[in-house]
Amino acid sequence: MTSATRSVDVAIIGAGTAGLYALREVRKRGCSAVLIDHGPLGTTCARVGCMPSKAALHVAHLWNAARTATHCGFPAPAAGSEPDLTAAWAEVRRKRDFFADRTAERTRQFAGDDLIMGSARFIAPHAVKVARDDGEKVIVEAKAFVLAVGSRPFLPPNLMSINATRLLTTDSLFEIDTPPRRIGVVGLGAIGIEMGLALSRLGVDVVGVEQAPTLAGISDPEVRAKALARFQREFPIRLETAATFEERAADILIRFPDRSQAVVDALLVATGRRSNLDRVDLPAAGVTLNPRGFPERFDPETLQAGGAPIFIAGDANGLLPLMHEAAVEGGAAGRNAALVAKGETPLPRKVLPPLAIVFSDPDVVRVGARFADLDPEAIVIGTGKGEENGRSRVLDETETLVRVYAEKGSGKLLGAELVAAQGEHLGHFLAQAIARGETVRDLLALPYYHPTVEELLQSALLDAASKVK
Amino acid sequence: MTSATRSVDVAIIGAGTAGLYALREVRKRGCSAVLIDHGPLGTTCARVGCMPSKAALHVAHLWNAARTATHCGFPAPAAGSEPDLTAAWAEVRRKRDFFADRTAERTRQFAGDDLIMGSARFIAPHAVKVARDDGEKVIVEAKAFVLAVGSRPFLPPNLMSINATRLLTTDSLFEIDTPPRRIGVVGLGAIGIEMGLALSRLGVDVVGVEQAPTLAGISDPEVRAKALARFQREFPIRLETAATFEERAADILIRFPDRSQAVVDALLVATGRRSNLDRVDLPAAGVTLNPRGFPERFDPETLQAGGAPIFIAGDANGLLPLMHEAAVEGGAAGRNAALVAKGETPLPRKVLPPLAIVFSDPDVVRVGARFADLDPEAIVIGTGKGEENGRSRVLDETETLVRVYAEKGSGKLLGAELVAAQGEHLGHFLAQAIARGETVRDLLALPYYHPTVEELLQSALLDAASKVK
Residue B2 confidence (pLDDT):
61
Among B55, B66, B324, the residue with its CB nearest the CB of A69 is B66
| Chain A residue with the nearest C-alpha to that of B445 | A352
Residue A1 has pLDDT above 60, yes or no: no
Task: Pick from B91, B428, B462 the residue to mutate for testing the A interface (most A CBs within 10 Å).
Answer: B428
Strands A244-247 and A237-239: unpaired
Pick the CATH number of B4-47+94-153+274-341 from 2.60.15.10, 3.90.650.10, 3.50.50.60, 3.30.980.10: 3.50.50.60
Residue B240 confidence (pLDDT):
87
Q: Domain limits of chain A?
A: 4-47+94-152+274-341, 157-271, 355-467
A251 within 8 A of A261, measured Cβ to Cβ:
no
Which residues lie closer than 8 Å to A165 by C-beta, 6 or more apart? Answer: none
Give B454's Cβ-side CA count (13 Å radius).
25
Q: In chain B, what residues touch A75 (CB-CB under 8 Å)?
A: 77-78, 81-84
Are the Cβ atoms of B393 and A98 closer than 8 angstroms? Answer: yes
**Distance between A308 CA and the closest CA of chain B, angstroms:** 28
* Angstrom distance (rounded) from CA B240 to CA B123: 45
What is the average pLDDT across B37-66? 94
Q: In chain A, what residues touch B77 (CB-CB under 8 Å)?
A: 74-78
**Distance between B329 CA and the closest CA of chain A, angstroms:** 12
* Angstrom distance (rounded) from CA B406 to CA B414: 5
DSSP B224: H
Among A65, A324, A395, the residue with its CB nearest the CB of B449 is A324
Which residues lie closer than 8 Å to A320 by C-beta, 6 or more apart? Answer: A354
ipTM of the complex: 0.96
| Distance set, CA B36 to CA A234, A250, B117, B119, B314 (Å) | 47, 73, 6, 7, 15
Residue A13 confidence (pLDDT):
98
* Angstrom distance (rounded) from CA B300 to CA B95: 35
Q: In chain A, what residues touch B461 (CB-CB under 8 Å)?
A: none
Among A350, A391, A447, the residue with its CB nearest the CB of B445 is A350
Q: In chain B, what residues touch A424 (CB-CB under 8 Å)?
A: 449, 452
> Identity (one letter) of the amino acid at A105?
E
Q: Do domains B4-47+94-153+274-341 and B157-271 have the same CATH topology?
A: yes
What is the average pLDDT across A250-260? 95
Fold classification of B157-271 is FAD/NAD(P)-binding domain (3.50.50)
Among A66, A350, A433, the residue with its CB nearest the CB of B69 is A66
Q: In chain A, what residues touch B395 (CB-CB under 8 Å)?
A: 58
Q: In chain A, what residues touch B70 (CB-CB under 8 Å)?
A: 66
Are the Cβ atoms of A66 and B65 closer than 8 angstroms? Answer: yes
Residue A3 has pLDDT above 90, yes or no: no
Among B63, B422, B447, the residue with its CB nearest the CB of A324 is B447
Give B217's Cβ-side CA count (13 Å radius).
26
Task: Pick from A21, A28, A63, A74 the residue to mutate for testing the B interface (most B CBs within 10 Å).
Answer: A74
Beta-carbon count within 10 A of A374 CB: 18
| Chain B residue with the nearest C-alpha to that of A457 | B428
Mean pLDDT rounded to a whole number for chain A:
96
Are the Cβ atoms of A73 and B83 closer than 8 angstroms? Answer: yes
Are the Cβ atoms of B68 and A84 closer than 8 angstroms? Answer: no
DSSP A187: -
Residue A2 confidence (pLDDT):
60
Are the Cβ atoms of B78 and A75 closer than 8 angstroms? Answer: yes
Closest Cα partner for A351 from B447, B83, B62, B94? Answer: B447
Are the Cβ atoms of A95 and B393 closer than 8 angstroms? Answer: yes
| Distance set, CA A269 to CA A170, A187, A188 (Å) | 8, 7, 9
Among B55, B355, B449, the residue with its CB nearest the CB of A428 is B449
Question: Residue A316: enclosing H or E segment and its boundaries?
Answer: none
Beta-carbon count within 10 A of A24 CB: 16
Give the DSSP letter string of B232-290. HTTS-EEES---EEEE-SSSEEEE-TTS-EEEESEEEE-S-EEEGGGGS-GGGGTPPB-
Beta-carbon count within 10 A of B466 CB: 12
Sign of CA dihedral A73, A75, A79, A84: negative
Q: How many angstroms from the chain centroid is the CA of residue A452?
A: 27
What is the average pLDDT across B384-411? 97
- B43: alpha, beta or left? (left if phi > 0; alpha if psi -120 to 50): left
Among B73, B327, B422, the residue with its CB nearest the CB of A425 is B422
Q: In chain A, what residues touch B434 (CB-CB under 8 Å)?
A: none
Burial class (CB in 10 A: 0-12, 13-18, 19+), A378: exposed
User: For residue range B342-397, what is the model confidence (pLDDT) as tens digits?
Assistant: 999 999 998 999 999 999 999 999 999 999 999 999 999 999 999 999 999 999 99
User: For residue range B83-94, what is the model confidence (pLDDT) as tens digits?
Assistant: 999 999 999 999
* Angstrom distance (rounded) from CA A26 to CA A337: 7
User: For residue range A326-382, what is the model confidence (pLDDT) as tens digits?
Assistant: 999 999 999 999 999 999 999 999 889 999 999 999 999 999 999 999 999 999 999
User: For residue range A184-222, what is the model confidence (pLDDT) as tens digits?
Assistant: 999 999 999 999 999 999 999 999 999 999 999 999 999
Are the Cβ atoms of B63 and A54 closer than 8 angstroms? Answer: no
Residue B469 confidence (pLDDT):
76
What is the average pLDDT across B166-188? 97
Pick the CATH number of B355-467 from 3.40.640.10, 3.40.50.720, 3.30.390.30, 3.40.1350.10: 3.30.390.30
Residue B1 has pLDDT above 70, yes or no: no
Pick the CATH number of A4-47+94-152+274-341 from 3.90.1150.10, 3.90.79.10, 3.90.25.10, 3.50.50.60: 3.50.50.60
Closest Cα partner for A50 from A189, A170, A215? Answer: A170
* Angstrom distance (rounded) from CA B170 to CA B11: 29
Beta-carbon count within 10 A of B163 CB: 9
